[in-house]
Amino acid sequence: MMAPKRYFEGLDLFTFMAMPFFILAGEIMNRSGITEKLADFANALVGYLRGGLAHSNMIASVLFAGMTGAAVADTAAFGNTLVPAMVKQGYTRPFSCAVTVAGSIIGPTIPPSNLMVIYGSLMGVSIAGLFAAGIVPGLLICALCMCVIALLGRRLNLPKSKERFSLLRIFWAFKSSFLAILMPGIILGGILFGIVTPTEAAAIAVFYALFIGVVIYRALTFNDIVEMLIRTARITGIVFLIIASASILSWWMTFMQIPQKIAAFFLFLSSNPNVIITLILCLLLVVGMFMDINAALIILAPVLGPLTKTIGMDPVHAGIMIVLALNISLMTPPVGACLFVMSSVTGERIEKISMSLIPFLVVEIAILFLVAFWDEMTLFIPRLLM
């Protein structure tokens, strides 16, 4: 008797409306050429370095992240554009794919993030607070992955562009992509300064992307818009069905006091908060290897949320830790969604991409533990914004 009621109530949250809007905004940007302009600007900034296109890939992921909040959208967009360009310039295909996949998880870490919307809605945690907390970890992922690329530059003999650093080139690339770069500022500024809610910001993102694609760039037709709406409905439908179904399981787990029992078991193993946090991270990384991250979040959040509260973690700090751990799962086999998308887009084997991903994966797991144990770094911006 409870199942139909829970199935409906699992989706009956206004904040969930942000997800289809952000997904649609990403589709519009991919189709209208905004993605390429962001990549050109990133290349103007760092393309002159050894491994310049790989560095550009990371910078472009940061710029793209501030618009869509979806790792899969980043993977698909740059898998179609930057990977062929890197291969043409002399990079190996597995390495090009690995760089793109490693950068793609910046998407759901830097706000806006669909996973943060889900967590905040389910757990009653400030979504704006989660968005603010994701900025530093996202930028840190970009910076350290670029360090990995720099260290691998000579060892792998990565190509170096013949073009030199040019302020004039940066100026023209910035001018060409200004309207695209302005979009993250509008979205994040509106949310973080309390002007609009995340849902309203997502709707504004769609309107802004449509305006640029149709009026400014004139790159979209009516048929394109119909195709994008159908694709958005399909992606949203899959995610929402998972959320609705998982909410039944979440209710049953709550009714049976499963979260309390798991929390008691963890506390039985150790009362040391650092040990419990380590156990939580290991659990999330292992579960994420075999389970869709949306389903994993919905099932595990009601279990782990109260547990982190028991050991004194700030709800926003705990939320960003859980979200980042599941984001990393997007690039770990055997069920890493970004790996499958990249493989399907480029035709490269998942095993080869996974091997090239190892240095980036080690760095991102290290960042995860840094985020988990250094709350001052994670909560600096949320506290600054009150």
Find out whether 347 and 376 touch, Cβ atoms under 8 Å.
no
* Spatial separation of the C-alpha atoms in residues 111 and 132, rounded to whole Å: 7
Quote the pLDDT of residue 69: 65
Asked whether residue 330 carries a pLDDT value surpassing 90, the answer given is: no
The percent of residues above 70 in pLDDT, for the chain, comes to 96
Tell me whether residue 306 is exposed, middle or buried, using C-beta atoms within 10 angstroms of its C-beta: 0 to 12, 13 to 18, 19 or more. Answer: middle
Considering only residues 364 and 14, tell me which one the structure prediction assigns the higher pLDDT: 364
Quote the pLDDT of residue 68: 64
Quote the pLDDT of residue 144: 94
- What amino acid is encoded at 27 in this protein? E
Find out whether 251 and 6 touch, Cβ atoms under 8 Å.
yes
Considering only residues 334 and 281, tell me which one the structure prediction assigns the higher pLDDT: 281
Report H helices in the chain: 2-9, 18-32, 34-46, 52-68, 71-89, 93-104, 114-123, 127-155, 167-192, 198-211, 222-255, 258-269, 273-290, 293-310, 315-328, 337-346, 350-373, 375-384
Quote the pLDDT of residue 367: 95
The answer to which of 95-99, 143-147, 248-252, 322-326 has the lowest mean pLDDT is 248-252
Task: List pLDDT tens digits, range 284-319.
Answer: 888 888 777 877 888 888 888 888 888 889 999 999
Quote the pLDDT of residue 373: 93
Q: Specify the 3-state DSSP secondary structure of 218.
A: coil
Quote the pLDDT of residue 66: 66
Asked whether residue 335 carries a pLDDT value surpassing 80, the answer given is: no
Q: What is the dihedral of CA 352, 39, 163, 176, to 10 degrees?
A: 170
- Average pLDDT over every residue of 139-162: 86
Asked whether residue 362 carries a pLDDT value surpassing 90, the answer given is: yes
Task: List pLDDT tens digits, range 46-99.
Answer: 777 788 888 888 888 887 776 666 777 778 777 777 888 888 888 889 998 999
